[in-house]
Amino acid sequence: MSLDAILDRRLLIISGKGGVGKTTISAALGMMAARHGLRVLVAEVEGKNAISHLLGVPPLTSEPREVRPGLWAMHVSPEEALREYFEVQFHAKRVARPLVASQLVYFVTHAAPGLRDILMLGKIWYQVARKGEFDMALLDTPAAGHAVSMLRSPEGFLEAVQVGTLANQAKRVSDWLHDPEQVAIHLVSLAEETPVKETLETARLMEERVHMHVDCVHMNMLYPPFAEDPALNAALDRMKTPRGLRPRAKGTEVLSDDRAQALFACGEFYRDRRAMQQEHRGRLVEGLGGSASVVDLPFLFGDGFAGKELDLLADVIEEQASATP
């Protein structure tokens, strides 16, 4: 995945299982793109308010707001999107207002398969492709299963309804989503069993049901390699007892039993978890079979200050993308 393959898209859809760091990666990608001078919009869909938490800003609204230099954020809800849709389509402020207040919107947005999702996608399309206010948008989707049905929604709708204003809208959104020059899917995963399984499953469903291709998988929170020096890595692999950690040469300070034991336990923990992560990462790479590139993102030690971490992740993504022609 080259840097251009990220920066040239108008929409990046970020998806993955709950708890893998979708919002963090969306924000890091957004910050990276903004550094290159792009006007970037991060959109999160109904029910989430993770971006505002992450960035320490007040809750988002349906109106994009600049949260970092060059980076805007908004919240998309189907109800809001429906209201705007009525306003734009039918110039119908009078109809729309009481509608939103009533339970009816709830029924309407549930009445047709995927209508809620079409409305949300339509809003993003409108903001980016139609109005052209932003160079790039990132969509931080809810759990992966929903992302599949969400992206499938315009096609699904068109199978059921062929005419009408919304059908036309669905057609435009669907065409846009299926243009790989414009839209790309990035998945976020952890190197653990269930997230890897779900990532592969999502990639398959995107291909089969949505006819969209997953461009990239961000493998989040990988323990870094133990050492650059192969001899040191080999020494860790060979480590079998706390005794082995004791310096042999005479005159060096002797490690206490307790400390040798603690260091040994630490080494074992690191070694086992890293091996486990690499095994699951291997399963992911094998499962993808080269169909998507994999970006390795480090587990961040340190104090957990979000601003610093996002910059760091943005650096790593940029570095790995730049290394690919």
Partner 1 sequence: MSLESALDGQIVICAGPGGVGKTTVSAAIAMEGALRGRQTCVVTIDPAKRLADALGLEALSNQPHRVPAEAFEAAGLPAAPLDAMMLDTKTTFDDLVHRYAKTEDRARSIIDNRFYQAISGALSGTHEYMAMEKLYELYWMGNYDLIVIDTPPTRNALDFLDAPKRMTSFLEGKLLKWFLVPAVGGGRGVFRAMNLAAVAFLRVVQKVIGAEALKDTADFFANFEGMYDGFKERAQAVYELLRQDLTRFVVVVSPTDQAVEEALFLVSSMASHHLHFGGLVVNRIHPRFKGAGGEPAGTPLGDRLVQIAEEFEQVRLREEQSLKRLESEVPSRRWVRIPYMNTDVANLSSLNEVAETIFAGSEHLARD
Of 69, 250, 303, 325, the one binding partner 1 (CB under 8 A) is 303
Question: Is there a contact between 237 and 226 (Cβ–Cβ < 8 Å)?
Answer: no
* Nearest to partner 1 of 33, 139 (CB atom): 139
- What letter represents residue 100's amino acid? V
Residue 222 in contact with partner 1, rule: CB under 8 A: no
Please, which residue, 18 or 307, has the CB nearer to partner 1? 18
- Would you say 96 and 102 are in contact if contact means Cβ atoms under 8 Å apart? no
Nearest residue (CB) to partner 1, 161 versus 288: 161
In terms of CB distance, is 5 or 300 closer to partner 1? 300
By the rule CB under 8 A, 287 interacts with partner 1: no
30 binds partner 1 (CB under 8 A): no
190-209 residues near partner 1, rule: CB under 8 A: 192-195, 197
Task: Kindly write out the interface string for residues 85-124 of this chain, putting x where it contacts partner 1 by CB under 8 A and - elsewhere.
Answer: -x---x-x--x---x--xxx-xxx-xxxxxx---------
Q: Is 288 a residue that touches partner 1 (CB under 8 A)? A: no
**Residue selected from 4, 272, 286, 319 as contacting partner 1 according to rule CB under 8 A:** 272
299 CB neighbour count, 10 Å cutoff: 14
Tell me if 163 contacts partner 1 by CB under 8 A.
yes
57 sits near partner 1 (criterion: CB under 8 A): no
Question: Which residue, 262 or 312, has its beta carbon nearer to partner 1?
Answer: 262
Residue 303 beta carbon to partner 1: minimum distance, rounded to whole angstroms: 6
Stretch that binds partner 1, among 4-12, 28-36, 133-141, 265-273 (CB under 8 A): 265-273
Residue 189 CB coordination number (10 Å)? 29
